[in-house]
Structure 1
């Protein structure tokens, strides 16, 4: 049930579709999204652009938060900070979003962007999301 809710929402995201991003894991308080290298997603040095990494890890954090929400609640990002630790020189980015703490209104998540083998940390995000009733 939880996976279907997240997948249905993920499939509506035009940006994730444009990036050819894929939802690869959903668990309570944790979501993983992948994005394959494409020349159209690079910056001037040939690495995957920081905007791509930021976009998929923001979505991973948001969906991790959504896994803990009641059926009639959605989330929106209100703030995030990203530290880039090394260039995204990989065939596939793996973004992992994890909930640190959830409250009545705000949820705090950590996000991580790894290379395909998940042995190199490329970026780290801290995100704050707000719950909205739909």
Structure 2
């Protein structure tokens, strides 16, 4: 621990290459036009230009889109930490919606709060951006579960 904060350490020095490879197979992420622009050890960040397909019937960004961005950023933040032969899936996610999704873009940031061998406890924030105005619209807490090679049926 340093200054009361648990230090995060990757088990895969090639985590960026691995995450970029897996992002190529994130078809739903591509479908909604979300991209991760920052991939660091235990942290990811990305942007989404808000389009009509992202909105619900009242013209606000749909809660499912917001939850998806939180899940993706937190999940890939955890993915940066596990060894090459392990995988990560969402075990639990809780999203608190704080403000309506009104704006031009969404910015999402996910990070690992507490690293573990079998579980990583993560958080994510999703912000609406309009020009210079940024509004926090959601906070999420997640448990990302590590899948070991022996857990995958052959």
TM-score class, shorter-chain normalisation, is over 0.9
Structure 1, gaps ≥5 residues long: none
Alignment-derived partner of residue 133 in structure 1 = 148
Contact 1:94 1:118 in 2 (8 A): no
More moved, 13-22 vs 113-122: 113-122
Q: Does 1:49 align with 2:74?
A: no
Q: Which 4+ stretches in 1 moved above 3 angstroms?
A: none
Pick aligned residue for 1:68 from 62, 77, 81? 81
Per-residue displacement from partner, 1:17-43 (whole Å, max 9, x unpaired)?
Answer: 110111110111100121111111101
Using structure 1 for the length normalisation, give the TM-score. Answer: 0.94
Q: Which has the larger radius of gyration?
A: 2
Counterparts of 2:101 and 2:24 in 1: how far apart (Å)? Answer: 25
Cα distance in 2, alignment partners of residues 27 and 118 from structure 1: 26
Q: Name the CA shift for 1:41/1:131 in 2 (closer, same or farther; >3 Å).
A: same
**Which of the numbers 91, 97, 102 marks the counterpart of 2:115?**
102
1:91 Cα deviation after fit: 1.0
Corresponding residue pairs, total:
134
Provide the C-alpha distance between the structure 1 equivalents of 2:72 and 2:133, rounded to a whole number of angstroms: 18
Q: State the Cα distance separating 1:119 from its structure 2 match.
A: 3.0
What is the CA-CA distance between 1:118 and the residue it aligns to? 7.3
Q: Contact conserved, 2:90 with 2:142, CA < 8 A, in 1?
A: yes
- Tell me which moved more, 110-119 or 67-76: 110-119
Length-normalised TM-score, structure 2: 0.83
